Amino acid sequence: MLTQTIEPLRGEPADSGYGATIITVKAARDHERAESIRDLVDAHRRLQGSVLRFLSHFDDGRAIARGASQSLDALAALLETKARAAGFARMPELSAAVQSARAAARQRDLLFFDSFGTDVPALREAACMLERLDATLVGLCVEHVLRANAKSRARRG
């Protein structure tokens, strides 16, 4: 296997060129902070996946195919619209969850600000909030599917 080595620059002092102008934007300060950031990003990803799966029940699975290119904010708004059009039984609870998901989507950038990104307890709390919201949406989706299946069985039987 051929390995390429990096040659030191000759003739340029260390305080000039690219090395002098490039700085790290956000260095991981500690393991606990890095884990908290990972947990928050994972919770956001799971929430977006849950919104996509829920949305797919209202549009025959097409949401998952196009969902990769849409933001959580856009998907949550679409979920609310589709659910309302379908006569979703627990619309007030779904609307509240959707509004929380949309707010979480808009606040996602806070992760990269120093004041928030260094506050490990705030990162943990944000991840927990997203997990609770995800559980609420999953519960509403499961209830919707169970009701739809019960209606389907009642019509057949």
What architecture does CATH give domain 30-156? Up-down Bundle (1.20)
The yes-or-no verdict on residue 16 having pLDDT over 70 is no
Tell me, yes or no, if the pTM score tops 0.85: no
pLDDT at 137 over 50: yes
Angle at 90 between CA 88 and CA 95, to 5 degrees: 90
Question: Any residues with CB less than 8 A from the CB of 123 and at least 6 apart, and which?
Answer: 33, 36, 37, 39, 40, 111, 116, 117
Question: Would you state the structure tokens that stand for residue 141, as one six-digit string?
Answer: 């989706």
pLDDT in tens, 19-66: 556 655 555 557 888 888 889 889 999 999 999 989 888 876 666 666
Task: Give Cα 32 distance to the centre of its chain.
Answer: 20
